[in-house]
Structure 1
Amino acid sequence: MTTPLVLLDLDGTLMDSAPGITASAAHAYRTLGLPVPDAATLRSFVGPPITDSFPTHGVPRERVGEALVAYRAAFTAGGMFNNSVFDGVPAALRELRAAGCVLAVATSKPEVFARPICERFGLSALVDDVFGAPLDEATSTKADVIAKALAALGRQSPAAPEDGPVLMVGDREHDVHGAAEHGIGCLGVSWGYAAPGELERAGVVGTVDDVADLAAQVLARLR
């Protein structure tokens, strides 16, 4: 029997990462002397590469590098650990592993941050591997991260049925589009940071509203 593979987004899917990310982003705006976006806009920074979010929300492109330095200063000083695992996520991951799934984190967060975060919060012990972007996020997309994960795990792209079913789980449109580039469906989760209707417009195969239902919903779509 082929082995199912589940690719899991980190921020907004497994973890509530907003406190550290939004505080670090606000610090960057203050450092540059720019108006700090409102809370709802700052929440939208969770998920996409930070180098995409800054120019989208008022940072001149020629100052994005400066903003990134300021953001990383706050993030590495403690913001990266100012988050928490969503209630019920560890149990869902254990259920999926017990069902025979290979689990891998696939995040747009730089891997040098994603790995220690997963280790600190006990997620590394519940998944088979953690994949992230390079430190220069501007050179990577979610599709690139997924490609890296598939190659490391010996899977083909587009996903080949003979290798076993593959499913992405995420909370933003970037997860859906990145997975689609590899012929992989994405199951959305509603407890993350997507704007209303964002996941549906992007083309999710379904949406989970309660973490308690996550494992069952994933397994139903892998059959």
Structure 2
Amino acid sequence: MSILLLDVDGTLIDSLPGIRAGFLHALDALDWEHPSEEFISQIAGPPMELTLKSLGMTDQQAQQGLASYLDYTHNGGWEQASPFPGMLELLVSWKQQGLTIATATSKGEGFARRILEREGFLDYIDFLGAAQENGPRRAKADVIDYVLASNGWRERTSDIVMVGDRSHDIEGAAHFDIDTIAVTWGYGTPQEWETAYRTARTPEDLERIINARLLA
């Protein structure tokens, strides 16, 4: 059995519009100055509290900001997202060819489930691995560990490939000796992809790489 771990934000789903709006809502709630648009373009992927702390917030301020962000997201912000073209079709094809598919996302589990169900992805996902909205499972490595432990896959990492767009995906997977294919249509940078196993610039690239690695 070959296993595919998929990031969600920046890989399957373009969620930056909602994340951006929720982030600015959190800053406004704290009367915090907005950073540059260049900074904002990079906020999708890492846990929001880490992004807030990177602006100089204390732990308490970051938690207050996270609460405001989650409140915005609960109240419709999660809906401001759309699938990347071609990705649903890839999941359908991979399932037909026998791949086991799980997500490994730092997105809160409830939000991930809603958007993946709305866009039709959930029917092709065997296990929904996501962050806790109010709990310690937030970092990408913790989410991957949860996925591996829940499915008895810790001894099978040579059969697993991660797909994501940010350095957090690559580093989190590397903690378990799992290779990552970096996709360039998300929110990462070329510098972040340097340590990836391979880089895919289109869904067609990704299909070829996955088929050669897991389905050959």
TM-score for the superposition, normalised by structure 2: 0.93
Gaps of 5+ in 1: none
Q: Matched residues in 2 for 1:125 and 1:149: separation? A: 18
Read off the aligned partner of 2:196 and give its amino acid letter: V
- Between 1:16-25 and 1:212-221, the stretch displaced more is 212-221
Identity over the aligned pairs, expressed in percent? 36
Question: Which one of 194, 201, 208 corresponds to residue 216 of structure 1?
Answer: 208
Change (3 A) 1:19 1:77: same
Query: What is the match of residue 180 of structure 1?
Result: 174
One of 175, 190, 195 as aligned partner of 1:196: 190
Displacement after TM superposition at 1:158 (Å): 6.7
| Aligned mate of 1:81, from 79, 82, 87 | 79
Q: Secondary structure at the match of 1:12?
A: coil
In 1, the alpha carbon distance for the partners of 2:55 and 2:145 equals 28
Opposite residue 211 of structure 2, the aligned amino acid is L
Match of 2:105 among 86, 104, 107: 107
The count of corresponding residues between Structure 1 and Structure 2 is: 215
Give CA deviations for 1:82-135 in whole Å, capped at 9, x if unaligned.
000000001111121122110111101121221122112211012112111112
Does 2:204 match 1:206?
A: no
Q: TM-score, normalised by structure 1?
A: 0.91
- The alpha carbon displacement at 1:184 in A equals 0.5
Q: What aligned pairs does 1:4-153 form with structure 2 within 5 A after superposition?
A: 4-136=2-134, 139-153=137-151
Partner secondary structure for residue 11 of structure 2: coil
Query: Which stretches in structure 2 are left out of the alignment for 5+ residues?
Result: none
Structure 1: 4+ residue segments shifted above 4 A: none
The residue matched to 2:5 in structure 1 has which SS? strand
Tell me, in whole angstroms, the C-alpha distance in 2 between the residues paired with 1:5 and 1:37.
39
User: In the alignment, is the contact (CA less than 8 A) between 1:26 and 1:42 conserved in 2?
Assistant: no
Residues 27, 65 of structure 2: 8 Å contact kept:
yes
